């Protein structure tokens, strides 16, 4: 994956080895390679992780899935299973498609769902229900699957789901909280797709985009037991005071579930999971470790601090800036030249009229304000899917001169940050990261480089 950079990019000599480190992280979580690492064929036996499946005993093999990495994951499965795939459908984010031979790949919008996502959700559910006891279903899930695999629960509409998603994104809810509500307002999420597949054999391959890789949260866990309850869903509504913000139909459904009038999502003791197993093929840890190895090869003293980073982007930025100052001032926790790495995913609470940007751009700009004037420090905040928020940017790469570069152009960094409008500022100062769709998604990576 090559990063696109302007000929005017600041400090190109300093930034070139940094970009090499970022590319190593993305290469390590290439979806096709990750799938091929756990999937192989020995004659008519399909080996998936530690499990062996005799293809002779299956009448049909179906491939279904959702997520930004769906296309390359599908290509890898097709390369191994080949003509024995009977049918399949995988939905990916707009612009993330790729050529396939036996499995149809369709596009839909993310993070707010559209009609294409509903149509895909209905068709995938129909394929799942078509599978019988002598069939094998391979499900491919990756980041973005929650927004892409859409099938509103009875009584709800696409508009209801769109309004709910927008409200949850704007209030700063975590991905666990967002997906908790999604699961309880869907006909496919939270283990309900597995219910439709049963009693067929189900294998799910997952590219994780959630901190800690909880299976029931990644893509809202359509094929695994759901640990969340109606009570958990209602707690999110109360926490963010969403009763008057969410559509009336959503609130009514949650209240009905809370009152015991609707069944909950399938749990771990449900028989529908007796013929299924799930395997994580790549996650944030894999990308972070690869980046550390490459940074070491580039001459940095590299240290991975965590892959469990969460919190408001503005608050995390303070920690990032503090770490940079500690390394520069005291050579701790590693001596210079240093590369500290943190993985995870932050959130941003938007105002009434936000501008353009995403959590990584916001974090980068906030850190630029905190480190302005400090030489020899470069901070990178990277969305591994190449799309930070509803923009074409993967994040930002700032240094101690970023704010001054903006000031020389008549731009006030604090004002842009306050308006949640980091994109145009970082674009003007040539501090945006642009990759295009990376076809993968394993959360975010934050790098602290100190010369």
The domain containing residue 35 runs over which residues?
30-151+186-228+265-282
Query: Are 115 and 109 a contacting pair, CB within 8 Å?
Result: no
Are 90 and 115 contained in the same domain? Answer: yes
Residue 167 lies in a domain: no
- Output the pLDDT for position 266: 98
Are 446 and 320 contained in the same domain? Answer: yes
Position with higher pLDDT, 450 vs 437: 450
Position with higher pLDDT, 11 vs 107: 107
Residue 248 lies in a domain: no
pTM above 0.75, yes or no: yes
Are 296 and 416 contained in the same domain? Answer: yes
The pLDDT-based confidence of 291 (bands split at 50, 70, 90) is very high
Cα–Cα distance measured from residue 387 to residue 94, given in angstroms and rounded to the nearest whole number: 11
Residue 54 belongs to domain with CATH number: 3.40.50.10180
Residue 344 belongs to domain with CATH number: 3.40.1480.10
Q: Is 129 exposed, middle or buried (0-12, 13-18, 19+ CB in 10 A)?
A: middle
Residue 253 lies in a domain: no
* Phi, psi (rounded to 5 degrees) for 181: -70, -40
Query: Are 80 and 46 a contacting pair, CB within 8 Å?
Result: yes
Nearest to 23 by CA among 4, 45, 50: 4
Q: How far apart are the first and last CA of the chain?
A: 25
The pLDDT-based confidence of 172 (bands split at 50, 70, 90) is confident
Are 22 and 50 contained in the same domain? Answer: no
Are 200 and 296 contained in the same domain? Answer: no
Are 119 and 222 contained in the same domain? Answer: yes
Count of structural domains, the chain: 2
Are 23 and 64 contained in the same domain? Answer: no
Are 278 and 310 contained in the same domain? Answer: no
What tens digit of pLDDT does each residue of 2-13 get?
Answer: 566 443 456 667
* Phi, psi (rounded to 5 degrees) for 345: -160, 125
What tens digit of pLDDT does each residue of 192-201 get?
Answer: 999 999 999 9
What tens digit of pLDDT does each residue of 69-89 get?
Answer: 999 999 999 999 999 999 999
Average pLDDT, the chain: 95
Are 98 and 18 contained in the same domain? Answer: no
Cα–Cα distance measured from residue 181 to residue 72, given in angstroms and rounded to the nearest whole number: 29
Share of the chain above pLDDT 70, in %: 97
Residue 324 lies in a domain: yes
Cα–Cα distance measured from residue 136 to residue 448, given in angstroms and rounded to the nearest whole number: 46
Are 115 and 143 contained in the same domain? Answer: yes
- Output the pLDDT for position 3: 64
- Output the pLDDT for position 74: 98
Are 58 and 42 contained in the same domain? Answer: yes
């Amino acid at each position: 994956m090559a990063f696109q950079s302007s000929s005017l990019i600041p400090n190109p000599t300093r930034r070139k080895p940094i970009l090499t480190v970022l590319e190593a992280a993305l290469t390590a979580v290439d979806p096709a390679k990750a799938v091929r690492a756990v999937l192989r064929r020995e004659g008519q036996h399909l080996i998936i992780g530690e499990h062996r499946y005799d293809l002779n005993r299956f009448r049909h093999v179906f491939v279904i899935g959702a997520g930004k990495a769906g296309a390359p994951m599908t290509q890898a499965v097709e390369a191994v299973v080949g003509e024995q795939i009977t049918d399949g459908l995988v939905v990916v984010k707009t612009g993330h498609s790729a050529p396939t031979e036996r499995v149809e790949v369709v596009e839909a919008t993310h993070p707010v769902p559209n009609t294409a996502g509903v149509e895909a959700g209905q068709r995938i559910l129909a394929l799942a229900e078509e599978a019988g006891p002598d069939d094998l279903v391979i499900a491919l899930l990756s980041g973005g699957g929650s927004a892409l695999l859409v099938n509103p629960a009875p009584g709800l509409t696409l508009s209801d789901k769109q309004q709910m998603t927008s409200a949850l994104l704007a209030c700063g809810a975590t991905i666990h909280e967002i997906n908790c509500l999604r699961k309880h307002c869907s006909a496919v999420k939270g283990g309900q797709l597995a219910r439709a597949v049963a009693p067929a054999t189900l294998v799910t391959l997952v590219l994780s985009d959630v901190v800690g890789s909880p299976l029931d949260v990644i893509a809202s866990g359509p094929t695994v037991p759901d640990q969340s309850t109606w009570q958990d869903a209602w707690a999110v509504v109360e926490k963010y005071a969403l009763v008057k913000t969410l559509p009336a139909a959503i609130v009514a459904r949650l209240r009905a579930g809370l009152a015991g009038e609707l069944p909950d999502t399938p749990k771990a003791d449900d028989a529908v999971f007796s013929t299924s197993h799930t395997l994580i093929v790549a996650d944030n840890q894999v990308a972070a470790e690869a980046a550390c190895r490459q940074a070491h090869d580039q001459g940095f003293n590299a240290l991975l601090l965590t892959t469990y980073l969460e919190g408001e982007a503005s608050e995390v930025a303070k920690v990032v800036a503090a770490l940079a100052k500690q390394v520069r001032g005291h050579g701790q926790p590693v001596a210079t030249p240093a590369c500290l790495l943190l993985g995870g995913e932050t959130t941003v609470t938007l105002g009434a009229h936000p501008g353009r940007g995403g959590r990584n751009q916001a974090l980068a700009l906030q850190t630029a304000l905190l480190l302005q004037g400090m030489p020899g420090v470069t901070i990178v905040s990277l969305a591994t899917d190449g799309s930070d928020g509803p923009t074409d940017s993967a994040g930002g790469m700032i240094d101690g001169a970023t704010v001054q570069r903006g000031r020389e152009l008549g731009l006030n960094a604090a004002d842009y940050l306050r308006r949640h409008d980091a994109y145009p500022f970082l674009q003007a100062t040539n501090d945006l990261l642009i990759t295009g769709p990376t076809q993968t998604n394993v959360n975010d990576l934050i790098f602290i480089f100190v010369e």
